[in-house]
Structure 1
Amino acid sequence: MPEPILQVRNLTVHFYTYAGIVKAIEKVSFDVYKGETFALVGETGCGKSVTSRALTQLIESPGRIVEGQVLYYRDDGSVVDLLKLSEEEIRKIRGNEIAYIFQDPHASLDPLYTVGHQIAEAMEVHGKISNIKEGIQKAIQILKSVLIPDPERRVKNYPHELSGGMKQRVVIGIGVSNNPRILIADEPTTALDVTVQAQILELLDKMKREYNATIILITHNLGVVAETADRVAVMYAGKIVEIGSVDQIFKNPLHPYTQGLLKAVPNPMTKIEKLEAIPGTVPNLINPPSGCRFHPRCPKAMEVCKQKVPELKEIEPGHFVACHLY
């Protein structure tokens, strides 16, 4: 059996708004294995980013982690529940053992400081360097490793002096600066053009090999998943509906939602006259549908789907699905 590094159990996050309680994610459970790239896939608003932030208690008011466990297997063999740690304890792990690459590099970088200073600061906070000057020297090496040309000059640049692709590389540099065990990449290629996207994905793969890291990749791009992931969890309206290896998900999708997602993407290998869209719209999570949340849009919905929430069941080794058809 592969060795787990993270086990998420029944993770539930609600946002308490004036309009009502937004049930952003409900009883989400999955395992992440050491050294793999685990992709969390789904359309915008399905709860991918909320899930990734909840792992290290990064949920801000009016959000609240209502229940769940996030079991983290440390290097020394001990296991800690990240949701039970105090703010001081989780800060020692966040950015150090578990690091993030956030969605928007423009918002992730401080316009008042040079990129070298920001990389050095990430190391200084966790005691990896004794002062910023030493950190700047290490930042040059990090910029070199994330394939930024002329790092000795770029280390003195401010974020506005860099292109979008370069900013994303700097954010990856900050993420890997403390040699994390888990790197959570939240849509790292969203604002980039196709050629830069390919470079960033190659870079993430390089970082994974060099730093021996485990990657949790948050994306809605199935092409990115097919190219980089080992295993995939498909999310819909705050729930995980299917988990499997890349081969299982792409060659034998079981859940009608996963099937719909794949039919909506052009496939150069097959002749398709017309791409199929999933009918209807994403449900309002203040009043989500009863039973299976996908049933109002599902072409295979039965009476039981409206009444009973399907459990995530293992259909074949490593392939789980939450659907009453199985």
Structure 2
Amino acid sequence: MDPEWAPDLLGKVRSRIGSVIVGHEEQISLTMIALLAGGHVLLEDVPGVGKTMLVKTVAALIGCEFNRIQFTYDLMPGDITGASVYYPHSGEFVFRPGPLMANIVLADEINRASPRAQSALLEAMEEGRVTVDGRTYPLPAPFFLLATQNPYEYEGTSRLPEAQLDRFLMRMSLGYPDMEGEMALLERRGGSATPDSLKPLLAGSELIAMQQAAARVFVDDSIKRYMVSVADASRRQRGVALGISPRGTLAWYRASQASAYMDGRMYVIPDDCLRVAVPVLAHRIHMNHEGRAAGLTQREMVDAILAQFELPRQRSRKGGSR
């Protein structure tokens, strides 16, 4: 997929998303980066700020199968992955796919379900497959999971396990719009586009080609060393109980490649790393008692660790610098 025209197509997709979702340009761009990197996104925020609308809009603009799973306390793993059903007339068990067997899946209010139900997503998110009754079934390609969750202090919610959080490429928050954005939302009410009115701009095969091209974006050794150094420092940082995992370092690498590709470059620059650092790394850092007592947030801890390192020299291609 030629990076010279890919940004134009991706720009059209972002613009159309912006015609529905007002005032969240950076979050829209990060969602597109996650798509290109082949990762999954966790949207954490208060109700009513547009989390579900963002997911439905992204799905409408990509010509792929979309399913929504409403997570509740009584949801069972088979309700997500599917189950084997016995047919008496044939005397055989037949696998009936669940809603997870789609290209784009919205896991709505994921932290309202039991840990048992949430565990059904682990294999799917990491390996792109599900195992039911001892048999393995591949998920369709591309596969993109966008999950929403309400803040932990809300009634009926529970914390996601660290292992599951680590499988999300990014975690981000939309937040409340500013006054101008909310005024624009009111003015456009009734005349703005809705997900149901949008036509696909990007085919699933085109997205796969873009993902493959993004994975070929060149990353200089100095930038690789910078990423590994930051991850290593996070594991020894005061106030941190659990630092960035190797999966987290790889996620940062892939997201930086996708950021460069979306801008039409086939090489990563330090700005790409910084652009995606907080949404990729913050949810992978878990504070100990000392860190919580200091009042530092995960975002602030990532910023503090990044500040310990000088940015690598910007390189445009192997063997050359800029």
Given the two structures, how large is their TM-score scaled by the length of structure 1?
0.37
Which structure has more helix as a fraction of its residues? 2
Which structure has more strand as a fraction of its residues? 1
Given the two structures, how large is their TM-score scaled by the length of structure 2?
0.37
- Name the structure, 1 or 2, with higher relative contact order (CA <8 Å, separation 6+): 2
